[in-house]
Amino acid sequence: MTPLLSVRDLRVGFGRNPAANEVVKGVSFDLAPGETLAIVGESGSGKSVTALSVNRLVDFGGGRITNGSILLQRSDGSTLDVAKADEKVLRTIRGRDVGMIFQEPMTSLNPVHTVGAQIEEAFRLNRGLHGADAERAALEVLERVRIPDAKSRLAYYPHQLSGGMRQRVMIAMALASSPRLLIADEPTTALDVTVQAQIMALLAELRAETGMSMIFITHDIGLVAGIADRIMVMQHGLAVEQNTTDAVLDNPQHDYTKHLLNAVPHFTSGKAVRADGERAATSEPIIKVDDLVVRFPVKKGLFKPKGAIHAVDGVSFDLMPGETLAIVGESGSGKSTTARAILGLVEKHRGAIAAKAGRSRRPIQMVFQDPFASLNPRLNVEALMAEPAIANGQKLDDALRDRMRFLLDRVGLPADVLNRYPHQFSGGQRQRLCIARVLMLNPDVVVLDEAVSALDVSVQARVLDLLVDLQREFSLAYLFISHDMAVVERIAHRIAVMYAGQIVEIGEARSVLADPQHSYTRRLISAVPAVERRRQHFAVDATQVPSLVRPAGYEPPPANWREAGRDHRVRIEETK
Amino acid sequence: MSKLFRAFLRHPSGRIGLAIISLYLIAALLGTLGLTPRDPLKLFAIDRLKPPSANYWFGTDLLGRDTFSRLMVGIKQSMIIAFSSVALATLFGTIIGLLAAWWGTLWDGILMRIMDVLLAFPAILLALLIIAIVGPGTATSVVAIAIVYTPIFARVVRGPALSLKQRDFVDAARTFGSSQPYILSRHLLLNLVAPLAVQVTLALAWALLTEAGLSFLGLGTQPPTPSLGLMLAESKNLMTQAPWLMIFPALTIMLGILGFNLTGDALRDILDPRTQRREA
């Protein structure tokens, strides 16, 4: 069969001298009709540029195709070399033969038009449908991407929809023209795991329904196992390996592919949890949180009654010295707000947070998610490291500098970095710097708020190892906040699952991961992408997180718990 | 610092602006030290209203005083007023803007509404009002111009300070227990240096103009001390007989404003990280 797309020796460069600044250095691949190719690589590997060359969107980003051919078979049977086509012809390809969905569903929809109008526009441009015809087509396609209550959603503006819904709308727009090829550029990276699973399932079903080909770009090699027929691994602008999915995953040939596969955190349903840190019944908790409630008032206008977002609603747990409690949940579940309330960064509405007096005046410290935002760009490492000590009455002297050097060395940074500035470090190094900084005060508890989420997978694994070592060495307790089950499995002793502001399941890590009791925990665990779970099909599930905005005076019903084993408690679900 | 200077020399308008400002500063310095070609206050009665010549470079005025020497002293006067009023405005504007952003809600509302009221008046009108209350003089014009430009600095500081306040590194500082003055100076102010530097240079240009305007109206520097605005005012009745009396002070004012504006523009380009990336 003739391939739908045939790329030969593609080279793309940027800047004034594209030949000298090559980002893609000679990539070739074929894509048969109905086939899905996954392009995998870390940031900067040229995977997006390769895919954007196929519809020549790369031109608008300042890129130039310097060499090679991109032969695309069009719907009328003719073959076109995209690499040499002019803009007028390209416009007829984009949207019609080649559809595209992007990473950020927030920014790729126009905020001032309703989603209905935007989908109708796609139909008008690509199929020439007008008025009622376009509206009917828009409704049809929204139903095809399984948006519940599609008719009323047509009148919604993008900001009224959740991230997952917006990505569905984007997919609907791409489908408007029944493209023969769909390019998906990291379509689920900005989404939560359960939403990611929904979108992946949707893409797989749509592909089966329409028989279109797909190019799926991702940095997560675990994610492609379920959807791709072939995998191309890219590094530094070169395709280092390409073969069928099974061959790449089971029998990787290139070192970089092996490295990527090793770095992916494998989720093993509780088999890989830490064996240390047995809970002693006698010890006293270092933090005890009791019925914590955090609410943010919502103003609805002058005369309307005020409601509140119940961000955290009646959360209780305790943390023993030297223990890791992981709080997992999706965005909006209240896990970060819980952490911020413990540190006093947001005000609590009600409840008690009792911290035992520790080794220093400030026994609880925090490492933030984004290592680029949590360091003041205008201060050098010495000033950054000195800040916690100065804030607690110490002087910047040689003894303090010795402690800085000791800690920097301990987290794996060279000792001569004291005069450098944050922008001179990579993301992983910056996060190490943040970790060293919170250790300056010799804390008892470190709150890690998605501390490894922003890092590339291979860096992530090393930082996790470092955290485990530091925990033993400095006898730290961690409150580890994450959405990533595979990461949590490696570091947690105990796990608390949060959903809609409440803890729904809490207990020993092995027990929670191996034998989840609450329906939400089960959903969270089944959504974790894994290399092992190939060809496992997810049912398309459109469950939405309930709104947390409550009218004034609303109190949630009291929680009922049941024991599901030694140190494993589950909230009893209301039967509907 | 030398890096900044070299960036200035590379920037086309920065080069010109820097040259003009240096020239003015030298003239002001010589004027202060009394190193003018002639005594700016001495009357050469026989040489009244002489056009520019080798003897009197920019001519003489009605009383036979040397225009060039008077211009040098006038520049000194303008520079002193411009620099000190902008310094005061920067100080108070920065403090008000920072505190409004930091305390937020009620204080933000009160402080910024006051600033809005001040900003609603045209600069020269507000200065007139203040001088009408206090009485004319050099010190009064400094205070008046400072009050006029304080709201601009308050606004320039408040906006970015509001967004800096939300940044993770400020939250991190709070978890360490850093004191408020430490957070304000280290985390907020240090990151505001670039926009402030640009605003200072641009404000110097406006202050120069406002000062000349006030002196022109007889509300700023008082005679016999020479000042640029005052010289313009004295020349206006002699416009046809002795145009040089008007042309040279006017050109001096214009060139000064141009110098500060060019420098401000260059500074904005140089300190903007986006333009830096384009160069790299």
A500-516: pLDDT as tens digits: 888 999 998 888 988 88
Nearest to B68 by CA among B104, B30, B106: B30
Whether residue A378 lies within 8 A of chain B, CB to CB, comes out as yes
pLDDT given at position A466: 92
Of A7-16, A98-107, A203-212, A563-572, least confident by mean pLDDT is A98-107
pLDDT given at position A575: 59
By C-alpha distance, the chain B residue nearest A341 is B175
The model's pLDDT over B176-211, given as tens digits with 9 standing for 90+, comes to 888 888 899 889 998 898 889 889 999 999 999 998
Of B168, B182, B190, the CB nearest to A391: B182
By C-alpha distance, the chain A residue nearest B180 is A391
Per DSSP, the three-state class of A319 is strand
pLDDT given at position B277: 41
Cβ separation of B169 and A344 shorter than 8 Å? no
Q: Are A58 and A14 in contact (CB under 8 A)?
A: no
Cβ separation of B190 and A376 shorter than 8 Å? yes
Chain A residues close to B179, C-beta within 8 Å = 391
pLDDT given at position B113: 92
Per-residue confidence band for A187, with pLDDT thresholds at 50, 70 and 90: confident
Which chain B residues have any C-beta within 8 angstroms of a chain A C-beta?
167-169, 171-179, 182, 186-187, 190-191, 193
The residues, ordered by sequence, that sit 6+ positions from B56 with a Cβ below 8 Å of its Cβ are: B47, B50, B66, B67, B68
Whether residue A238 lies within 8 A of chain B, CB to CB, comes out as no
Q: Is A2 exposed, middle or buried (0-12, 13-18, 19+ CB in 10 A)?
A: exposed
Cβ separation of A366 and B175 shorter than 8 Å? yes
Residue type at A479?
Answer: L
Whether residue A73 lies within 8 A of chain B, CB to CB, comes out as no
Please give the ipTM for the structure prediction. Answer: 0.75
Of A389-403, A464-478, B56-70, least confident by mean pLDDT is B56-70
Of B169, B175, B179, the CB nearest to A365: B175
Per-residue confidence band for A540, with pLDDT thresholds at 50, 70 and 90: low
Across A89-93, B9-13, B34-38, B146-150, the highest mean pLDDT is recorded for B146-150
- The more confidently predicted of residues A358 and A498 is A498
Distance in Å, alpha carbon of B9 to nearest chain A alpha carbon? 24
Whether residue A381 lies within 8 A of chain B, CB to CB, comes out as no
Average of per-residue pLDDT across A396-423: 87
Q: Rounded mean pLDDT of chain B?
A: 86
| DSSP assignment letter at A320 | -
Helices then strands, each counted (H, E), chain A: 18, 22
pLDDT given at position B279: 38
Chain B residues close to A437, C-beta within 8 Å = 172
Cβ separation of B173 and A391 shorter than 8 Å? yes
Per DSSP, the three-state class of A279 is coil
| Helix ranges, chain B (H) | 2-10, 12-33, 67-103, 105-120, 123-134, 138-165, 168-176, 180-182, 193-216, 228-235, 244-271, 273-279
Of A340, A375, A388, the CB nearest to B169: A375
Distance in Å, alpha carbon of A368 to nearest chain B alpha carbon? 7
Per-residue confidence band for A361, with pLDDT thresholds at 50, 70 and 90: confident
Residue type at B217?
Answer: L
Cβ separation of B167 and A383 shorter than 8 Å? no
Cβ separation of A387 and B173 shorter than 8 Å? yes
Per-residue confidence band for A303, with pLDDT thresholds at 50, 70 and 90: low
Average of per-residue pLDDT across A285-305: 78
pLDDT given at position B13: 86
The model's pLDDT over A17-48, given as tens digits with 9 standing for 90+, comes to 777 778 888 888 888 888 889 998 877 788 88
Q: What percent of chain B has pLDDT over 90?
A: 30
The tokens describing A561, both together, are: 């718990």
pLDDT given at position B273: 58
pLDDT given at position A537: 58
Cβ separation of A362 and B187 shorter than 8 Å? no
The model's pLDDT over B95-110, given as tens digits with 9 standing for 90+, comes to 999 999 998 888 899 9
The tokens describing B159, both together, are: 């906006």
Residue type at B73?
Answer: V
Chain B residues close to A365, C-beta within 8 Å = 175-176
Of A130-134, A143-147, B205-209, B247-251, least confident by mean pLDDT is A143-147
Cβ separation of B169 and A373 shorter than 8 Å? yes
By C-alpha distance, the chain A residue nearest B188 is A376
